[in-house]
Amino acid sequence: MVAHHLVTTKVVLKCPGAVLSSRAAIQHAPCNNTTSPPHMLMHAGFDEEGNTDTSTIKPLVDGGTEGFKGHARVILPGVTPCFECTLWLFPPQTKFPLCTLAETPRTPAHCIEYAHLIQWSQQRSNEEFDTDNEEHMQWVYSNALARAQQYRIEGVTFQLTQGVVKNIIPAIASTNAIISAACVLEVLKLITMCSTGLNNYMMYAGSQGIYTHTVAYERDPQCPVCSAGVELPAPADSTLQQVIDLMLAHPQLGKVLAHPSVSYGAQQLYARGIYEEDTRP
């Protein structure tokens, strides 16, 4: 499923002779929810000095599993790292070299990806592949099976075809139960204050026995999502369009925004959508 994620961050403009604080509502570029972590809205407020107002914090508890591995984490916005701070924790998608797929397939996944990435574009280039279309998936399965038989590779099934194309990792009931219990326990601690909470990330591995480890990851003070603000140097005579261009070119902001809307306090300076004509720079 493709979706847009809305994130609000504070941008502090550093201009000669003036300091201007504004908020930018950032609309992320489309991302695949099956492979990308969610980005959170701002769930904490900050005072004029950039310190977190603890009375405004809305805690988040997150958990996830991947086979026999899993994690649970507690996010206190403005205090502990958010998803954006720790994107490096998420492993990259498995990708196969095209030369391997085309010339030397060795595994069932190679045959499936060959049918999905190469044969589809060659034989059905005028159609967009839809992972939720059963006829499309059956077509990939049939072609992958034929290629596997050609190279005497066993193990291509329709279920595996769905798993490879959709990047589905089989769920293990025991792993789900352990991580779910850890998340519920942290929510109970937050509600009742009955015990010290998790600080702030717990990983679990159950493929060879049972192993857990807790790590206190640090928040990125310049994170464009959960920090009090990101400094943006700009000439004092900059137009709003020039400021938006500076945001898009900024090494931090440019990574998380695609189409920003800008406000200053309660005043909307530029808004995407139905108010764009009225606020266009």
- Tell me the sheet residues that pair with 120: none
Question: pTM (2 decimals)?
Answer: 0.61
Q: Describe the strand order of the beta sheet including 211-215 as a list of residue ranges.
A: 60-66, 69-75, 201-205, 211-215
Q: E strands along the chain, which residues?
A: 2-3, 6-15, 18-27, 31-32, 45-46, 52-53, 60-66, 69-75, 201-205, 211-215, 230-233, 261-264, 267-270
At residue 48, the pLDDT reads: 65
Provide DSSP, 187-235: HHHHHH--SPPP-SEEEEE-TTS-EEEEE-PPP-TT-TTTSS-EEEE--
Summarised one tens digit per residue, pLDDT across range 149-162 is 999 999 999 999 99
Alpha-carbon span 110 to 118, nearest angstrom:
11
pLDDT-based confidence at 56, cuts 50/70/90? Answer: confident
Alpha-carbon span 154 to 110, nearest angstrom:
12
Judge whether 99 counts as a catalytic residue.
Answer: yes
Alpha-carbon span 170 to 172, nearest angstrom:
7
Give the pairing of strands 45-46 and 31-32: unpaired
Alpha-carbon span 26 to 3, nearest angstrom:
14
Summarised one tens digit per residue, pLDDT across range 121-132 is 999 988 999 999
| Contacts of range 187-191, beta carbons closer than 8 Å, 24 or more positions apart | 187/61, 190/59, 190/61, 190/74
Alpha-carbon span 9 to 41, nearest angstrom:
9
Summarised one tens digit per residue, pLDDT across range 199-237 is 989 999 998 888 999 999 988 887 877 777 777 788 888
Mean pLDDT of 247-274: 77
Alpha-carbon span 173 to 163, nearest angstrom:
18
Of 51 and 104, the one with more pLDDT: 104
Percentage of the residues of the chain whose pLDDT score is greater than 70: 80
CA-based nearest residue to 153, from 162, 144, 161 = 144
Rg of the chain on CA atoms, in Å: 24
Q: Which helix (H) or strand (E) holds 137?
A: helix 134-150
In sequence order, the 6+-apart residues with CB closer than 8 A to the CB of 153 are 105, 106, 107, 108, 110, 111, 147
The answer on pLDDT for 74 being more than 50 is: yes
What is the residue-averaged pLDDT of the chain? Answer: 79
In sequence order, the 6+-apart residues with CB closer than 8 A to the CB of 196 are 189
At residue 20, the pLDDT reads: 40
**CA 37 from centre of chain:** 3
Catalytic choice (99, 183, 194, 226) = 99
Alpha-carbon span 248 to 84, nearest angstrom:
17
